[in-house]
Amino acid sequence: MPAFNDTAETGEVPHRGNFPRFLALLLLAVLSVRSFACAPFTIPSESMLPTLQNGDYLVAAKWPYGYSRYSLPFNAPLISGKLFPHLPQRGDVAIFRHASDGAEYVKRVIGLPGDIVSMRNGALVLNGQPVPRQRIADFRIAQSPNTPCAWGAVRETGPQGSVICRYVRYRETLPGGRSYDVLDFGATPQDRYGPMTVPDGYVFVLGDNRDNSQDSRFPARPGGGVGLVPASLLVARAGLVLFSSDGSAVWYDPLSWIAATRWHRMGERI
Protein backbone atom coordinates (compact mmCIF):
# COMPACT_ATOMS: atom_id res chain seq x y z
CA MET A 1 0.00 0.00 0.00
CA PRO A 2 1.57 3.33 -1.00
CA ALA A 3 2.59 5.77 1.72
CA PHE A 4 0.73 9.06 1.93
CA ASN A 5 1.19 12.42 3.71
CA ASP A 6 -1.55 13.13 6.22
CA THR A 7 -0.38 16.64 7.15
CA ALA A 8 -2.70 18.18 4.56
CA GLU A 9 -5.68 16.88 6.50
CA THR A 10 -4.42 17.73 9.96
CA GLY A 11 -3.11 21.19 8.97
CA GLU A 12 0.18 20.56 10.79
CA VAL A 13 3.38 21.94 9.35
CA PRO A 14 6.20 19.39 9.38
CA HIS A 15 9.42 20.17 11.16
CA ARG A 16 8.05 23.15 13.09
CA GLY A 17 10.97 22.87 15.48
CA ASN A 18 13.34 23.92 12.70
CA PHE A 19 12.14 27.55 12.70
CA PRO A 20 13.91 28.63 15.96
CA ARG A 21 17.02 26.88 14.66
CA PHE A 22 16.73 28.82 11.40
CA LEU A 23 16.43 32.11 13.30
CA ALA A 24 19.45 31.26 15.43
CA LEU A 25 21.53 30.42 12.37
CA LEU A 26 20.39 33.60 10.64
CA LEU A 27 21.36 35.70 13.66
CA LEU A 28 24.74 33.95 13.84
CA ALA A 29 25.33 34.64 10.14
CA VAL A 30 24.46 38.33 10.51
CA LEU A 31 26.71 38.73 13.55
CA SER A 32 29.54 36.92 11.79
CA VAL A 33 29.32 39.16 8.73
CA ARG A 34 29.13 42.28 10.89
CA SER A 35 32.04 41.20 13.06
CA PHE A 36 34.46 39.81 10.49
CA ALA A 37 33.48 41.04 7.02
CA CYS A 38 31.79 44.44 6.91
CA ALA A 39 29.60 46.72 9.00
CA PRO A 40 27.67 50.00 8.66
CA PHE A 41 28.93 53.26 10.13
CA THR A 42 27.52 56.78 10.23
CA ILE A 43 29.26 60.13 9.71
CA PRO A 44 28.28 62.63 12.45
CA SER A 45 30.52 65.59 11.56
CA GLU A 46 32.06 67.59 8.72
CA SER A 47 35.71 66.83 9.47
CA MET A 48 36.03 64.67 6.34
CA LEU A 49 34.42 67.04 3.83
CA PRO A 50 34.46 66.86 0.85
CA THR A 51 35.05 63.08 0.86
CA LEU A 52 32.41 62.31 3.48
CA GLN A 53 29.39 64.38 4.47
CA ASN A 54 27.50 64.57 7.73
CA GLY A 55 24.56 62.21 7.23
CA ASP A 56 26.44 59.63 5.16
CA TYR A 57 25.94 55.96 6.03
CA LEU A 58 28.96 53.85 5.11
CA VAL A 59 29.81 50.24 4.70
CA ALA A 60 33.34 49.47 5.90
CA ALA A 61 35.53 46.38 5.60
CA LYS A 62 36.59 44.76 8.88
CA TRP A 63 39.40 42.48 7.64
CA PRO A 64 42.08 44.91 6.35
CA TYR A 65 43.49 45.83 9.80
CA GLY A 66 42.80 42.63 11.74
CA TYR A 67 40.31 41.82 14.47
CA SER A 68 39.99 42.88 18.09
CA ARG A 69 37.24 43.15 20.70
CA TYR A 70 36.16 46.33 18.89
CA SER A 71 35.26 44.21 15.87
CA LEU A 72 32.57 42.44 17.88
CA PRO A 73 29.06 43.61 18.80
CA PHE A 74 29.01 45.45 22.13
CA ASN A 75 32.84 45.25 22.24
CA ALA A 76 32.52 41.75 23.63
CA PRO A 77 35.88 40.86 25.27
CA LEU A 78 36.21 37.58 23.36
CA ILE A 79 39.41 38.50 21.50
CA SER A 80 42.59 39.23 23.39
CA GLY A 81 44.83 41.78 21.69
CA LYS A 82 44.56 41.78 17.90
CA LEU A 83 44.28 38.88 15.47
CA PHE A 84 45.88 39.11 12.01
CA PRO A 85 47.02 42.72 12.50
CA HIS A 86 47.96 44.79 9.46
CA LEU A 87 48.92 48.41 9.08
CA PRO A 88 46.79 50.55 6.76
CA GLN A 89 48.08 52.06 3.56
CA ARG A 90 48.69 55.79 3.31
CA GLY A 91 45.50 57.39 2.10
CA ASP A 92 43.10 54.86 3.63
CA VAL A 93 39.97 56.32 5.21
CA ALA A 94 40.04 54.44 8.50
CA ILE A 95 37.51 53.99 11.29
CA PHE A 96 39.09 53.68 14.71
CA ARG A 97 38.41 53.96 18.42
CA HIS A 98 39.45 57.05 20.32
CA ALA A 99 42.20 56.19 22.80
CA SER A 100 40.61 58.29 25.58
CA ASP A 101 36.86 57.82 25.33
CA GLY A 102 36.42 54.81 23.02
CA ALA A 103 34.20 56.71 20.56
CA GLU A 104 34.38 55.83 16.86
CA TYR A 105 36.16 58.32 14.62
CA VAL A 106 36.91 58.38 10.90
CA LYS A 107 39.97 60.09 9.42
CA ARG A 108 42.45 59.61 6.59
CA VAL A 109 45.71 57.78 7.35
CA ILE A 110 48.64 60.00 6.37
CA GLY A 111 51.66 58.76 8.31
CA LEU A 112 52.86 55.23 9.11
CA PRO A 113 55.46 54.19 11.72
CA GLY A 114 58.76 55.92 10.99
CA ASP A 115 57.22 58.66 8.82
CA ILE A 116 57.99 62.28 9.65
CA VAL A 117 54.88 64.46 9.31
CA SER A 118 54.66 68.24 9.33
CA MET A 119 52.47 71.05 8.03
CA ARG A 120 53.82 74.26 6.53
CA ASN A 121 51.38 77.07 5.74
CA GLY A 122 48.59 74.55 5.40
CA ALA A 123 50.51 72.24 3.07
CA LEU A 124 51.40 68.68 4.09
CA VAL A 125 55.07 67.68 4.26
CA LEU A 126 55.92 63.97 4.51
CA ASN A 127 59.45 62.76 5.24
CA GLY A 128 60.84 66.16 4.36
CA GLN A 129 59.13 66.33 0.96
CA PRO A 130 56.13 68.58 0.27
CA VAL A 131 53.12 66.50 -0.75
CA PRO A 132 51.95 67.80 -4.13
CA ARG A 133 48.64 69.63 -4.04
CA GLN A 134 46.83 71.36 -6.87
CA ARG A 135 44.11 73.99 -6.63
CA ILE A 136 40.98 72.66 -8.32
CA ALA A 137 37.39 73.86 -8.68
CA ASP A 138 35.81 75.05 -5.44
CA PHE A 139 33.67 72.56 -3.55
CA ARG A 140 29.97 73.46 -3.29
CA ILE A 141 27.41 71.88 -1.01
CA ALA A 142 23.85 72.92 -0.19
CA GLN A 143 23.30 74.22 3.32
CA SER A 144 21.08 71.84 5.30
CA PRO A 145 20.39 70.79 8.89
CA ASN A 146 23.30 68.34 8.58
CA THR A 147 25.62 70.76 6.79
CA PRO A 148 25.60 74.43 7.81
CA CYS A 149 28.08 76.80 6.19
CA ALA A 150 31.27 76.86 8.28
CA TRP A 151 33.36 79.98 8.84
CA GLY A 152 35.56 79.23 5.82
CA ALA A 153 32.66 79.15 3.35
CA VAL A 154 31.46 81.71 0.84
CA ARG A 155 27.66 81.74 0.93
CA GLU A 156 25.92 81.77 -2.45
CA THR A 157 22.29 81.71 -3.54
CA GLY A 158 21.20 78.49 -5.21
CA PRO A 159 17.97 77.29 -6.88
CA GLN A 160 14.70 78.44 -5.29
CA GLY A 161 16.62 80.69 -2.92
CA SER A 162 18.60 77.87 -1.29
CA VAL A 163 21.98 78.59 0.29
CA ILE A 164 25.12 77.04 -1.19
CA CYS A 165 28.35 76.81 0.83
CA ARG A 166 31.47 77.21 -1.33
CA TYR A 167 34.96 76.18 -0.12
CA VAL A 168 38.49 76.37 -1.52
CA ARG A 169 39.53 72.88 -2.60
CA TYR A 170 42.83 71.19 -3.43
CA ARG A 171 43.76 67.81 -4.87
CA GLU A 172 46.47 66.21 -2.73
CA THR A 173 48.60 63.28 -3.96
CA LEU A 174 50.54 61.07 -1.55
CA PRO A 175 53.71 59.13 -2.41
CA GLY A 176 52.52 56.08 -4.31
CA GLY A 177 49.91 58.07 -6.25
CA ARG A 178 46.88 58.04 -3.92
CA SER A 179 44.90 61.25 -4.57
CA TYR A 180 41.97 62.83 -2.74
CA ASP A 181 40.44 66.27 -2.22
CA VAL A 182 40.94 68.51 0.82
CA LEU A 183 39.37 71.81 1.90
CA ASP A 184 41.24 74.91 3.05
CA PHE A 185 39.43 77.61 5.04
CA GLY A 186 42.45 79.93 5.26
CA ALA A 187 45.14 80.59 7.85
CA THR A 188 44.72 78.68 11.14
CA PRO A 189 47.14 77.75 13.96
CA GLN A 190 47.10 74.09 12.88
CA ASP A 191 48.47 75.08 9.45
CA ARG A 192 51.89 74.87 11.11
CA TYR A 193 52.70 71.60 12.81
CA GLY A 194 55.62 69.30 13.56
CA PRO A 195 57.80 67.74 12.49
CA MET A 196 56.50 64.63 14.27
CA THR A 197 58.03 61.17 13.84
CA VAL A 198 55.31 58.51 14.00
CA PRO A 199 56.36 55.86 16.56
CA ASP A 200 56.05 52.10 16.11
CA GLY A 201 52.54 50.82 16.62
CA TYR A 202 50.84 54.11 15.71
CA VAL A 203 49.49 55.95 12.67
CA PHE A 204 49.04 59.67 12.00
CA VAL A 205 45.60 60.73 10.72
CA LEU A 206 44.17 63.94 9.28
CA GLY A 207 40.69 65.08 8.33
CA ASP A 208 40.20 66.10 4.70
CA ASN A 209 38.52 69.25 6.03
CA ARG A 210 41.90 70.44 7.28
CA ASP A 211 40.79 73.51 9.21
CA ASN A 212 37.78 71.83 10.81
CA SER A 213 39.20 68.54 12.10
CA GLN A 214 40.43 67.51 15.54
CA ASP A 215 42.95 64.96 14.31
CA SER A 216 46.50 63.81 15.08
CA ARG A 217 47.71 67.42 15.19
CA PHE A 218 45.83 67.77 18.49
CA PRO A 219 46.53 65.91 21.75
CA ALA A 220 44.13 63.07 22.49
CA ARG A 221 41.33 64.13 24.82
CA PRO A 222 37.72 62.96 25.20
CA GLY A 223 35.48 64.58 22.62
CA GLY A 224 38.42 66.41 21.03
CA GLY A 225 41.72 65.68 19.34
CA VAL A 226 42.66 62.07 18.61
CA GLY A 227 46.46 62.37 18.82
CA LEU A 228 48.51 59.55 17.33
CA VAL A 229 46.22 56.56 16.82
CA PRO A 230 47.35 53.16 18.15
CA ALA A 231 47.18 50.59 15.35
CA SER A 232 45.47 48.29 17.87
CA LEU A 233 42.43 50.62 17.82
CA LEU A 234 41.92 50.52 14.04
CA VAL A 235 38.54 48.92 13.35
CA ALA A 236 37.70 49.09 9.63
CA ARG A 237 38.46 50.67 6.26
CA ALA A 238 35.67 52.76 4.72
CA GLY A 239 34.45 51.34 1.42
CA LEU A 240 31.43 53.12 -0.04
CA VAL A 241 28.43 55.28 0.80
CA LEU A 242 25.26 53.22 1.18
CA PHE A 243 22.89 56.10 1.95
CA SER A 244 23.04 59.82 2.66
CA SER A 245 20.59 62.33 4.11
CA ASP A 246 20.81 66.10 4.48
CA GLY A 247 18.92 65.89 7.79
CA SER A 248 15.80 67.76 6.68
CA ALA A 249 13.38 64.80 6.87
CA VAL A 250 10.64 64.67 9.51
CA TRP A 251 9.34 61.31 10.66
CA TYR A 252 5.64 62.07 10.02
CA ASP A 253 6.14 63.12 6.37
CA PRO A 254 7.30 60.31 4.05
CA LEU A 255 7.72 62.74 1.16
CA SER A 256 10.33 64.60 3.19
CA TRP A 257 12.35 61.39 3.47
CA ILE A 258 12.66 61.32 -0.32
CA ALA A 259 13.50 65.03 -0.56
CA ALA A 260 16.18 64.72 2.15
CA THR A 261 18.00 61.85 0.46
CA ARG A 262 21.22 62.71 -1.33
CA TRP A 263 20.62 60.28 -4.16
CA HIS A 264 23.80 61.19 -6.02
CA ARG A 265 25.96 59.95 -3.13
CA MET A 266 24.51 56.45 -2.87
CA GLY A 267 27.04 53.87 -4.03
CA GLU A 268 29.91 56.37 -4.11
CA ARG A 269 33.28 54.70 -3.47
CA ILE A 270 35.55 56.21 -0.84
Percent of the chain predicted with pLDDT > 70:
86
Q: Judge whether 2 lies within some domain.
A: no
Domain CATH number, residue 230: 2.10.109.10
Q: Judge whether 27 lies within some domain.
A: no
Look up the pTM and report it.
0.85
Q: Judge whether 73 lies within some domain.
A: yes
Q: Each residue of 60-88: pLDDT tens digit?
A: 999 999 988 777 776 767 677 788 789 99
Q: Judge whether 100 lies within some domain.
A: yes
Domain count of the fold of the chain = 1
Q: Judge whether 181 lies within some domain.
A: yes
Distance CA 135, CA 120 (A): 16
Q: Each residue of 154-207: pLDDT tens digit?
A: 999 988 889 999 999 999 999 989 999 999 999 999 999 999 999 999 999 999
Question: What residues are annotated to the active site?
Answer: 47, 107
Q: Judge whether 257 lies within some domain.
A: yes
Domain hosting residue 184, numbered range: 33-265
Q: Judge whether 62 lies within some domain.
A: yes
